[in-house]
Structures are given as structure tokens and as C-alpha cells.
A and B are shown apart, each in its own frame.
Chain A
Amino acid sequence: MSMITGAPGRAIGTPLDRIDGPQKVTGEAPYAYEHHVESPLYLYPLQSDIARGRITHIDASAAEALPGVVIVITHENAPRLADTSDKEYAVLQSEEVAFRGQFIGAVVAETFETARHAAHLVEISYDEEPHDAVLRADRDDLYVPEQVNAGFPTDTEEGDFEVAYASAAVKLDETYTTPMEHNNPMEPHTTVAVWREGDLTLYESTQGAHPVRRTVAQVFGLDQKRVNVVAPYVGGGFGSKGLPHANTILAALAAQMIEGRPIKFALTRQQMFSCVGYRTPTIQRIRLGADEEGHLTAISHDAIVQTAKIKEFAEQAAVATRMMYATESRRTTHRVAALDVAVPSWMRAPGEAPGMFALESAMDEMAIACGLDPIEFRIRNEPEIDAETGLPYSSRNLVACLREGARRFGWESRDSTPRARREGRWLVGSGVASSTYPVFRLPGSRARVRYEGEGRYAVEIGAADIGTGTWTTLTQIAADALGVGVGEIGLRIGDTTLPQASVEGGSTGITMWGSTIFEAARVFRERHGQNPSEGDEVEAGTPENPETENYAMHAFGAYFAEARVDADTAEVRIPRMTGVFAVGRIINAKTARSQFIGGMTMGLSMALHEESVVDPRFGHVVNHDFAEYHIPTNADVGEIEVSWIEEEDPHVNPMGSKGIGEIGIVGSSAAVANAVYHATGVRVRDLPITPDKLLPL
């Protein structure tokens, strides 16, 4: 590994190789399942075969008689949990079944194979009730949630939309839909739980060790100090490991019943489709009104999403529309259907990812209706301030991204007529879309800095690295914060024995943990100066950022895509995409670039591939494996060129950086959809864009 140590104070901005790289390429980095534990037992879950009803009888005798089976756990013998207010975590607490695939028990055995086999021998009878697992716009039971995810207001209104829309010279009124999607990180969700002398240790695949500890301690009524969560390496999450799910509780329950023996529980890929969150399907009606010059006068975005009856998760699909473009009048609403389904949750850019597909598709349609180039149309509607808060932006360089992207992509030579270019059997087109993501803040992180002698500093924070590069970027930040080289920093993350850290979610990791490390370093130098003694130590919390009162803070980007569509079969290929980002300062060009490309690829995947198909008769996802739930292979991803503009933003945080984990997916699907439209003249408003939706061409 080549390590760029660089001059002290200049680590941020260097493309440092991943610190965790060598362990990962040799297969030595221990993920949750792979920590060494003595004489483990294996857990295999029982899942409900019905979508709604009650368990009337359980016959576990055959399973219990199988040699090697230690225990069959069901609601009949499971310990009562201390806090069952969150029904997702109220595992095995009653005979009620609220969705298909819900955990209704578990077999714990000496081997995985025995546990799995025994699970099939458990006979369960149900009193089945009719269920309802399909989201439709014409339901009469849609309700208004108190707020939507991330604490945003449910509805907003600016000016008089109805009046402005009625009198607009150019109008658009279309509905866009996105399907249920599953996060599918490569590493299945895993817990290894050990309950020993009242202490619970969880080797966990999570985006936040401390949040897992908090939840588990609360559910089990334990002092947080008795729960330790270990997660140094995590095989992806994309939101699905952001909040703990029922699998973690189930493993801990089993560990509680069999004290002293470690319980290993890794979900299978198929089980991941039933209980660890997903992106809700959305139905989004967008209405746009503009004057003759293409200035928006009216914007309305009405989003319908689903949640589970047992727990509300209301995805904030219309939130980006509140700030994206200037208009005289604006209305946004969210309505929710509570169904007999598993609990939806975070999936990379919840809200923005489906919402911006709708808005940016509509913007493309509206530009055409106004007779304007889609870039020009967006620039014409660039706002001066953040309409939602009335604050100026700390930095907003969307226009620069659009212009730079147009230059790099070669937008200038584009003939705006759809279906104007044909190369052999391929219809060729290009599309553009904007992107945005808020600079969120999460409270509660702390960091410790300790001088270990010989110029070396230990920097400790319970942060997570789910593949984003935290091991590396926090090392760079710590080096600059302390004014030493990266080689002098010994970073420790991913463990609740370290100072607490907020979840790796909302693209907040670097903002929150980095700011906290900066603060700890500042206090350290204040107390111990430039020549500390060995053992000198400081712990500090996240400082407030008073600038959040003065500025609206968001990241922006622009994407361009080329689409080639087979004129006969309507197969879609995306040979190239260009993304330009305005996201403040880039901490590490190498890890950042890969994050952007990966995000855009997930947007491409959202556009063309991903859809969890629910069978309404049974309420389960039919295509629940990697053979049928398609994510792109390398052959599906053409050239993706990523760059960023130099953006100085002194207001966001001490690093001047904005989060980059999620922005890549936002709007990427719309760029693809707009390119497909330009290639074919067919507008698909219902993702994914499968060939049957494009025919006849």
C-alpha cells in the first residue's frame, strides 16, 4: 500500500489509499459474522406464512426432538421485553401477525443446518384474516401523518397554488410512480449475540453501533453500559442498517434465553426481502405552471407512500420540491397508506431519490412544453434564496454544475427533437437532471484524542464505516485537526466502548464526526499545547454550528446520461453518464469519486432494474433473490465520468465539506429516464423503465 503521509495540516484533499484496504483485499477484515466466538449456536428464524391474522397453534415437538436443537423460541416461551412501544421491535411478544415474513419464532441449534431443518418441522396454525398489501392512489384510507421522515412538515403551502396554476400559460399535470425497492447491501444483516453475566455483546452489521446499543438497551430494559456493540467493518448498508431491525432483537432474545453461548444469526438474501426495511413505493402527482418565458409560477407535488400498520415510516418524497426551484406559488403534500406490510425504512436518499425522479422528469417535460432547453429552463428558475426557510444558501452551485456538466458531456451539439438520432438499430438520446441533498446534522457525537508518545495520537469515536471510507477520511481529518501527518494518527471506530457517535445516515458522517474530532483536537491543543505528555487525553462533544440559523445548507449536482434503445426490442443501454457535484470540500478524492459513481449507478439501477414485485394474494416479494431482483452487473454500467467544482463553503463545518453518500442517487434515475425519452419519444413515468413499457416504438 502506498501511503501518502504528506505535510502536516494538509491531509484533507489528498487521495489517500484506504486504510482498511489491505485487510479487505486479503479477506482478513472481520465482518459481523466473522469475529471469533467460542462454541456458538446458530439461529434460524420462523417467519409467518400469512400477511395478517393470529397464530392459533404451534407444534414444535418434531423440531425439538431433532438432535442438536437447543430450543425453539416462539411468543409462547419468549421472555417479555421491557419496552414494546415500537412494534417493529416487539419480537415474539404476541400471537398477532402483522405482515408476511414477520418473525414468529426461531430455532437455535448446534449447527446452522440443524436449525434450518428444524425450522421447517415446526407446524404453525393460523387464524388468517384478509390482508391488504398494495398501494393505490384511489384508496379512501390515506391519512395525513403528523410529520414525515427526518422531521419535515407533512404539507406546505406558499402563495396561492390553485389561482396561479389556473392562470398559467403552460401547464403540466402528470403522475410518476416508483416501485418498492430493497437496499440489498452485499453483506446480509447479521448479529452475533452473546449474553454473559448480564452483559450483552452484539457483533453487528450496522451503520451505528451506539444507536443499536440505545435501542437494544431500551427494548430489553438494560442499562446502556451493559450492552456493547462491535462493528468495525460493515458490508454496505444504504440505509437498511441505519436503524436496528427485528433480526437484532431476535438474536438478542435468543442469547438472553441461552446465557453464555454466542448466537449467530445472519439473514439469508431471501430473508432480507421481508424484515430489514425497504423503499416504499410512491405515487407522485406533479403539477407545474409557467408563464410564456418559462418562469415557473406554480408547483405542486402530492406524494402518496405506504407504511406498515405496526409502525409509521412516512417517506418525505416531496421535500426537495420545496426548495429546488423558484416559483410564485407552491404546495407539497404527503399522504400515507397503512398496509399489512413490513416496515419501510431508509434507503439511500429516502425522499429525494424517488421525489427527484418525479420532479426532474416533470421539469424535463415542462422544458419541452415551454420550448426551452432543459438546462436553460432550470437556470431560468434558479432561486435566490431557500424558499422553505427564507434563508440564503451557504453555497448553491447548481447552475455551475449544469454548465460544467454540459461542457464535459457535449450537450451543446444536442438536437432537442426526440427520436432524431439513430445509429443502426439503436435510437440514441441524452438527458439531464439536477440533484440535491440537504446538509443534515445529528446530535450526540463525542470524540477522544490521546497522545501516545513518539508523535502518535489515538483518535477514538464510535463512528461506522459501511464502505464509505470513514476509516480513511476521519484519519485525514484528525491529522489536519491536530496538525500532524496521517501516519501519526491511530484511529479507532466501530465500537460502543469508544465515545458515542451518531448514526451513519443522512450523509452526516463526515459532517458530524469530523466536526467532533476537530473540536476534540482544538480542546486538546488548548489544554495540552503542541508538546503534550504521553497519556494526555481530551474528550469533547459536537460543537454547535450557529451558522445553521443563518444559512440554508444543501449539496447540489447535475447528471447527464446517454441512452441507446433498441428500436425493435426496446432494450435500454446507458453507455455513458456524466456527474458534476458542488458539495463543498472533498476530503478524499479517491473515496469520494467511488461514492459518487456508486450513487449514480444505483440511480441507473433504479431507473432500469430495481423493483420488488409484491404478490397481492400473499403479500410477499416474489422476486426475493439476486437472480430475480436485478442490480446492475459491470456490463450494465458504461463510462461514468465524475467531477466536482471547487466550492468554498465556510459555513457548513470546519472541513468545509457536505455529505456525499446519498446525493449520487438523487436525480440520476431522472437523467436516465429523460435520455430514454429523448432517444425514443416515449415518456415512461413508472419506474423501472422495462422494455415492455416502451413498446411499441
Chain B
Amino acid sequence: MRLSCTVNGEKREVENVWEGESLLYVLRERMGLYGSKNACEQGECGSCSVYLDGTLVCSCLVLAGQAEGCEILTVEGLAEDERLHPVQEAFVEAGAVQCGFCTPGFVVATHDLLQRNITPSEAEIREALAGNLCRCTGYEKILDAVRLAAERMAAS
């Protein structure tokens, strides 16, 4: 089938989408947007987190056709004009990145949290990132990065 949607502000149309494939597969294999990662295919790890019409979702659990006509924002769409988004900057500076495979999912989930709540409590940060697994960092620096990004975004 054919799928039309807007990805990172750009109209995209792809042909020959198999009806059973996920939005994650479409993004990666059909659009070449490899930022969203495939690591569990069951919504357990959050590596494929994207916005679907403004809502944070696991793109591996969205059936391709469900995205028809929708606005999708992926990790590739967060930086503006070569400038990292404050969340991305904070992840680099806080040392929250190791192997980097979970990072795009964490960045998008953090972006979502701070859009809704610029002064999140410790519990709110942990809750917002509960569905994102990281095997390298032990999370400590990721939580630091969220606090750093929140501080900066609140200040600006």
C-alpha cells in the first residue's frame, strides 16, 4: 500500500508498504531515517520512541497504516539549523551517552517530558523515562542530563 505522512516537517510518500509492517520499519527501511532504533520490537525498550501527532509512542507498536496522514517527529527532527536541541546538548555534556543505541529514544522521551513539564520533579523524570532501557550507563548520567536540560530550558 501507499503511505503518506509528514515526517520532521516534510511531506513523505512511500509506495509498496507491506500492511503488516511497523512505523519503525517504514522510518528506517523505507525512508532511511535510522535514528529511531530497533532493539526489542515489543515496546519494552523505548529505543524507537517518536512523536505521532504530538504523542510520544513506540514506533515499533504503530502499524504503518495507522500513521497515514499523521505528523511524525523523530530524533532527526529535533536539532534546528545544525544546532543541537538543548536536550541533545545536555546529553552530550552530562556524559549521558555511551554506545548511543538507546540515546535517540531517551532524547525524544526527554524532549516530550520537558515540553509538558519544564520543572519536573525527580519522580516525574524517572517516571517519564521508565520505558527507556539503557544497558551501558546505569542511568545516573542520563538523569543528570535531563536535569541539566530542564534547568537550561527553564532559564531561557
Contacts and interface: CB of A to CB of B under 8 A. Distances in A.
Interface of A: 1-2, 15, 17-18, 20-31, 33-34, 36, 111-113, 184-188, 233-236, 238, 266, 268-269, 466-469, 590-591, 593-595, 597-602, 625-627, 631-635, 637, 639-640
12 contacts: A24-B104, A27-B35, A30-B34, A111-B18, A186-B45, A235-B39, A236-B135, A597-B140, A626-B42, A626-B44, A631-B135, A635-B126
A116 to B, nearest CB: 10
B89 interface: yes
A186 B135 contact: yes
A80 B25 CA distance: 34
Contacts of A15: 95
Given A27-B74, A187-B37, A466-B99, A2 B138 contact: no
A597 B94 CA distance: 14
A266 B133 contact: no
B9 interface: no
Interface of B: 18, 20-21, 25, 28-29, 32-42, 44-45, 47, 74-76, 78-79, 84, 88-89, 91-93, 95-104, 107, 126, 129-143
Given A634-B134, A640-B140, 5 more contacts: A29-B100, A185-B99, A186-B136, A594-B136, A633-B130
A633 B93 CA distance: 22
Given A111-B18, A236-B136, A627-B44, A468 B98 contact: yes
A625 B100 contact: no
B31 to A, nearest CB: 12
Contacts of A600: 138
Nearest to B127: A635
A15 B88 CA distance: 18
A626 B140 contact: no
A25 B88 contact: yes
Contacts of B42: 269, 625-627
B130 A635 contact: yes
A598 B130 contact: no
B41 A26 contact: no
B92 A21 contact: yes
A27 B104 contact: yes
Contacts of B132: 634
Contact of A21 (B36, B91, B102, B135): B91
A236 B99 contact: yes
Nearest to A27: B35
Contact of B92 (A22, A625, A627): A22
Given A27-B35, A634-B142, A236 B101 contact: yes
Given A269-B40, A626-B45, A186 B92 contact: no
A602 B137 CA distance: 9
List the 8 shortest-distance A-B pairs measured between CB atoms, nearest first: A27-B35, A467-B99, A235-B101, A601-B138, A24-B100, A21-B92, A626-B44, A467-B98
B93 A266 contact: no
A28 B75 CA distance: 9
Contacts of A632: 139
Contacts of B103: 24-25
Contacts of A111: 18
B148 to A, nearest CB: 12
B39 A186 contact: yes
A631 B98 contact: no
B123 to A, nearest CB: 10
A67 to B, nearest CB: 12
Given A30-B34, A111-B18, A598 B138 contact: yes
Contacts of B101: 31, 185-187, 235-236, 467
A18 B96 CA distance: 10
Contacts of B25: 112
B99 A1 contact: no
Contact of B84 (A25, A467, A601): A25
Given A113-B21, A594-B141, A269 B39 contact: yes
A684 B30 CA distance: 50
Contacts of A21: 91-92, 97
A593 B93 CA distance: 13
A634 B78 CA distance: 24
A266 B137 CA distance: 24
A93 B92 CA distance: 47
A417 to B, nearest CB: 31
B40 A26 contact: no
Nearest to A183: B135
A28 B135 contact: no
A189 to B, nearest CB: 12
B34 A186 contact: no
A33 to B, nearest CB: 7
A626 B133 contact: yes
A186 B48 CA distance: 12
Nearest to A1: B92
B135 A184 contact: yes
Contact of A268 (B41, B45, B95): B41
B147 to A, nearest CB: 13
Given A21-B92, A594-B137, A631-B133, A186 B38 contact: no
Interface centre among A268, A599, A601 (most CB of B within 10 A): A601
A26 B76 contact: yes
Contacts of A184: 135
Given A27-B74, A186-B39, A626-B44, A634 B95 contact: no
Contact of A33 (B34, B75, B91, B143): B34
Nearest to B140: A597
Contact of B138 (A1, A188, A238, A597): A597
A17 B98 CA distance: 11
Contacts of B76: 26-28
Nearest to B90: A25
A356 to B, nearest CB: 19
A26 B35 contact: yes
A304 to B, nearest CB: 28
Contacts of A467: 98-101, 136
Contacts of A36: 32
Contacts of A27: 33-36, 74-76, 104
A631 B133 CA distance: 8
A469 B35 CA distance: 20
A109 to B, nearest CB: 12
B118 to A, nearest CB: 20
A337 B66 CA distance: 51
A642 to B, nearest CB: 8
A591 B100 CA distance: 13
B75 A26 contact: yes
A512 B143 CA distance: 33
Contacts of A468: 98
A26 B88 contact: yes
A467 B99 CA distance: 3
A593 B141 contact: yes
Contact of B34 (A1, A34, A469): A34
B137 A186 contact: no
A634 B96 CA distance: 13
A477 to B, nearest CB: 18
Contacts of B134: 186, 634
A634 B88 contact: no
Contacts of B78: 26
Interface centre among A15, A29, A186, A266 (most CB of B within 10 A): A186
A23 B75 CA distance: 11
Contacts of B84: 1, 22, 25-26
Given A17-B92, A25-B107, A637 B97 contact: no
B117 to A, nearest CB: 17
Given A2-B93, A469-B98, A597 B137 contact: yes
Contact of A25 (B47, B97, B141): B97
Interface centre among B84, B96, B98 (most CB of A within 10 A): B98
